Amino acid sequence: MKFRKIFTSLSLALLVLGMGSVQAADLRVGVEGAYPPFSWKESDGTLKGFDIEIAEAICAELKRNCVLIEQDWDGMIPALLAKKFDTIIASMSITEERKKRVDFSDKYYNTPAKFVAKKGSGLEISKSGLAGKRIGLQRGTTHQCYMEKMFPDVELVLYGTQDEVFQDLAIGRIDAQFSDSIAADDGFLKTDAGKDFEFVGGDQHDEACHGPGAGMAVRKSDTQLRDDLNKAIKAIRANGTYQKINAKYFDFDIFGG
């Protein structure tokens, strides 16, 4: 009996503590931190980038305290479902396949995907031109979906982070890489390591794989949060906050048409 009493009071205490944290209403945001210029980690450990600033602007708009939680890319959706955080703001494209598991806000930006290869590689972006070539990309992205659907004959080389893809492209372990064009431009082509590389072929797009753009993911039961996020995206678009952040990173409007 004594144990039961202790147990009851303990669980009551836990309940009260739990309620306390709900009232503080932190918005826990899953972010990546290895995807410049959208998110990266400074040497002192602070997170920087377009996604990070958008997340903070959204939290400010919702008047909730932002708690940024870093998560490896391929565990992002599982971590959201396991309630490690409440939303993902990490350049995650809205796709049908992901919608089976999570809900998305409206898009907050949309940029095309492109191939990058060494200057003068003469790489031809076609089924036969890419057959047997080693193409690097980040595992668990819309680009993996696209490559497997459109170019089944390429040798896909899968990496955990986009940074690793660029590293191996720079030293010639892969023939080309396929990713978001902005991420490739700012994260690689404009850096010293990427000076001998260029975009090859035009924009690559497949509606089923790439979807309408990047959105903020929430659990399916969290319709309230999804609606709040949508309102907040509209608000920061309307009051100029979005444009200010946009201008810091890009010389054109990445919201897309």
Contact 87, 225 (CB under 8 A): yes
Q: Which of 68, 77, 182, 233 binds another protein (CB under 8 A)?
A: 77
Residue 129 or residue 160: which is nearer to another protein going by CB?
Answer: 160
DSSP reduced 3-state for 118? strand
For residue 176, the cross-strand partners are 117, 135
Phi-psi region of 77 (alpha: psi -120 to 50; beta: other; left: phi over 0): alpha
Q: Is 78 in the site for another protein (CB under 8 A)?
A: yes
Q: Which of 12, 14, 97, 202 binds another protein (CB under 8 A)?
A: 97
Residue 106 or residue 164: which is nearer to another protein going by CB?
Answer: 164
Closest by CA position to 76, among listed 149, 161, 144, 165:
161
Q: How far is CA 146 from CA 55, 116, 179, 205, in A?
A: 27, 15, 10, 8
HSE of 218, CA atoms in CB hemisphere, 13 A:
18
> Strands 34-35 and 39-41, how do they pair?
antiparallel
Q: Is 159 in the site for another protein (CB under 8 A)?
A: yes
b/e sequence 87-117, b meaning 16+ C-beta within 10 Å: bbbbbbbbbeebeeebbbbbbbbbbebbbbb
Q: Is 98 in the site for another protein (CB under 8 A)?
A: yes
Q: Which of 139, 230, 237, 255 binds another protein (CB under 8 A)?
A: 139
Q: Is 173 in the site for another protein (CB under 8 A)?
A: yes
Cα gap 86→28, rounded to integer Å:
5
Residue 37 or residue 136: which is nearer to another protein going by CB?
Answer: 136
Q: How far is CA 88 from CA 102, 105, 149, 219, in A?
A: 10, 10, 26, 10
Residue 106 or residue 168: which is nearer to another protein going by CB?
Answer: 168
Q: Which of 90, 157, 218, 229 binds another protein (CB under 8 A)?
A: 157
- To the nearest whole angstrom, how small is the minimum distance from the Cβ of residue 101 to another protein? 6
Q: Which of 148, 196, 203, 227 binds another protein (CB under 8 A)?
A: 148
Residue 26 or residue 222: which is nearer to another protein going by CB?
Answer: 222
Q: Which of 62, 125, 150, 158 binds another protein (CB under 8 A)?
A: 158
- To the nearest whole angstrom, how small is the minimum distance from the Cβ of residue 203 to another protein? 23
> Strands 47-48 and 103-109, how do they pair?
unpaired
Kindly state the number of chain residues that form the binding site for another protein, as judged by CB under 8 A. Answer: 27
Q: Is 88 in the site for another protein (CB under 8 A)?
A: no
Q: Is 144 in the site for another protein (CB under 8 A)?
A: yes
Contact 135, 154 (CB under 8 A): yes
Q: Is 212 in the site for another protein (CB under 8 A)?
A: no
Q: Is 238 in the site for another protein (CB under 8 A)?
A: no
Note the residues at the interface with another protein (CB under 8 A): 74-75, 77-78, 81-82, 97-98, 100-101, 136, 139-141, 144-145, 148, 157-160, 164, 167-168, 171-173
